Amino acid sequence: MKITISDKATYYRLYEKGFFGNRARTWNTYQEIIESEWQGMVCMRSRKGIIRKKVRYNIPLINLRREIEAWKKEGIPEEQIAFNQSMPDESLTIQGEVMENPYSSPYGLYLLYSTVKKPMNLALAEKSETAMGLKAKVLLKHFMCPSSYADLEAIFDVVAKEHVIEFSSYSHNVGDIPNRNTVFWEVRKY
């Protein structure tokens, strides 16, 4: 039986447990970042209702507390902010959203993607392309290492067909699982 992820809270619970495979290093609080001894740049995003698409990329750690305070003044409580390591945008090869699509036979995939080397929202806004079926599969297999592509297939094996898988692939290994060049950002039902 396949699962359905119909709300953001369920998604975050599964994501934080590593259910979707390789991911960027993440933290739930500023204190967790400090205790982890992380020294790199950080991204922060709102988990709060209609403004959950609010995101800030590549924040130097020294500026993070100031950014959190600014969001609090905008009405975003600190407990509604999620953090992750900034990813090496200069090493991006492909990123986007893929889903199973029964209308794109024989491989049943629909891919919205970009090869622009910027955070995903910015890259897709600047230049996005689509691919279906075999073309989508060939693109994914070309840019994802075999382990990452196997992880993508494993996600498809457990979620219902209406789910979109958001990913970023890089020219080298990234994330919290060794020997993977792709991180999976989100899995959700539309």
- How confident is the model over 161-176, as pLDDT tens digits? 889 999 999 999 999 9
Q: Which residues of 95-120 are buried (b: 16+ CB within 10 A; e: fewer)?
A: bbbbbbbeebeeebbbbbbbbbebbb
* 64-84 mean pLDDT: 93
* 91-113 mean pLDDT: 85
Q: Which residue's entry shows tokens 């992820």?
A: 5
* 129-135 mean pLDDT: 93
Residue 102: per-residue pLDDT? 63
Query: Which residues, in sequence order, are CB contacts of 179 under 8 Å at separation 6+?
Result: 145, 147, 173
Q: Which tokens belong to 72?
A: 């609090």
| pTM, two decimal places | 0.86
pLDDT at residue 132 tops 80? yes
What distance in Å separates the CA atoms of residue 27 and residue 48, rounded to the nearest whole number? 16
Query: Which residues, in sequence order, are CB contacts of 149 under 8 Å at separation 6+?
Result: 140, 141, 182
Residue 49: per-residue pLDDT? 57
